Amino acid sequence: MNQQISRFVSKAVAKLRYDFWDAPRGRGRSPGKDLWDDQFRSGSWNGLGVAGEVAHYAILAAYAPYLHPSPDILDVGCGQGELVKHLKLRGFNSYLGIDLSSEAVQQAAASHACEKIHFVSANLDSWTTEQTFDLIIFNESLYYSREPAATLERYATYLRAPAEGGLLISMCEYGNHEIIWRQIEKKYSPVFSTRVENENAQAWNIKGFKTTGPRGCAQGSPMASS
């Protein structure tokens, strides 16, 4: 009983600390690998292919070629790989998805077996790589980082030739997303940006960023040169 009370108290203190100290400072938090694994195993995230969700995936994929015509893509917090379906329609050179949940990664790999598509189970806060990419995507995942803005800056160093690639971020209008956007936009200006709202009043902001060059200056349309 005492143990239960002390667990309850420490959970409540952690929640208060997050709500009143960390969240206003633009920090994120992740529920932990076990919980994500349970949710993916029980199918809680199987509904991402429904019509109400399709627009934000489709816009992310449609934006991709405006940052690079044939990118090597890193998708951070890729889940079951729903976005790959949409990215395939636009074309890419290679795709690597990383996710904390090994269950999500197994499901993603089973659905998208292909020599240019790979998935790895890793914590985005500690994962490092020698590889470089043309396009790095955080789709509903950046707010699970402890320090989202600093994490984004660290991942930006994995861009191969920053002038020719970029970052794509989608965040649901939830929690401290506005504070996180403000912190990101202190460092980078969006070169394009869209808000999507579905029939349940769930809304996403989707923004593309170049990390070098004139701020706010988008590359020309990839369609124009084809």
Ligand X SMILES: C[S@@+](CC[C@H](N)C(=O)[O-])C[C@H]1O[C@@H](n2cnc3c(N)ncnc32)[C@H](O)[C@@H]1O
Residues near ligand X (CB under 6 A) are 30, 36, 48, 77-79, 82-83, 99-101, 104, 123-125, 139-141, 144
Phi, psi at 70, each rounded to 5°? -150, 70
d(CA 147, CA 115): 33
Compute CA distances 17 → 8, 14, 29, whole Å.
14, 5, 12
Measured in residues, the chain has a length of: 226
53 vs 185 by CB, closer to ligand X: 53
30 vs 202 by CB, closer to ligand X: 30
Smallest separation (angstroms) from ligand X to the CB of 178: 18
Phi, psi at 140, each rounded to 5°? 60, 40
Smallest separation (angstroms) from ligand X to the CB of 17: 18
- Residue 5 token pair: 């009370």
Q: Using the structure block, give the residue that is written with the tokens 């994120």.
A: 28
Smallest separation (angstroms) from ligand X to the CB of 226: 28
Q: Using the structure block, give the residue that is written with the tokens 């627009």.
A: 55
Smallest separation (angstroms) from ligand X to the CB of 195: 17
Smallest separation (angstroms) from ligand X to the CB of 139: 4
Residue 125 pairs in a beta bridge with none
Q: Judge whether 169 and 148 are in contact, CB under 8 Å.
A: no
